[in-house]
A and B are shown apart, each in its own frame.
Chain A
Amino acid sequence: SQTIHQWPATLVQPVGSPLSLECTVEGTSNPNLYWYRQAAGRGLQLLFYSVGIGQISSEVPQNLSASRPQDRQFILSSKKLLLSDSGFYLCAWSSWLAVNNEQFFGPGTRLTVL
């Protein structure tokens, strides 16, 4: 069966510090991968998605970046965090074979920027 992991689960970082969030998927090959951000009490905002190694599509211009160094690894980064980067970061995967494009979400990382 497929599983998706995210770490860390929680993170508190000062403004201006760098960020690296990691997401890995097990049990599937060539997944589509996604990064979402969710502010407190808000909806899901798609940040980046990837359909293959090294292929990254950015949905919202910001100080974040994403990379996919391996087939089942997706990394969200920032060189300098802003207060507005606080939120709940969710990684998701989907299969290119799925007709409904159902996405499976990880447990999330709660980021607080102080």
Chain B
Amino acid sequence: GESVGLHLPTLSVQEGDNSIINCAYSNSASDYFIWYKQESGKGPQFIIDIRSNMDKRQGQRVTVLLNKTVKHLSLQIAATQPGDSAVYFCAENIGAQKLVFGQGTRLTINP
């Protein structure tokens, strides 16, 4: 949406620490939320999704939390590794066969 012209915010974490990436969404009627990971020079890849009737969903080393009251979504990555360095996008399914993507966050890992 409107955030595509903004530079990506950056999150730097130490290798082995946990990372928390946040996202605000706009549409109360969105029924699914998806997190994507985009490595440099590649297309985004699906990480995990969460349905709007859930508050939390866990995957392998990742957890997504959904707070519908404040329209906030977060992605937690446990024990961050160098391979986690990427840009992370949240996306909300607004219907009409379209996703609305957030502005993205660049995650960098310090050794």
Taking beta carbons and an 8 Å cutoff, which residues of A are in contact with B?
Answer: 32, 39, 41-46, 49, 51, 90, 92, 94, 96, 99-108, 110
Contacts and interface: CB of A to CB of B under 8 A. Distances in A.
B93 A105 contact: no
Interface in B1-18: 3-8
B97 A107 contact: no
B45 A105 contact: yes
A101 B93 contact: yes
B32 A43 contact: no
Interface of B: 3-8, 31-32, 34, 36, 41-46, 49, 51, 89, 91, 93, 97-99, 101-104
Contacts of B42: 107-108
B49 A42 contact: no
A86 to B, nearest CB: 14
A106 to B, nearest CB: 5
B97 A105 contact: no
A49 B43 contact: no
Contacts of B31: 99-100
B7 A90 contact: no
B49 A44 contact: no
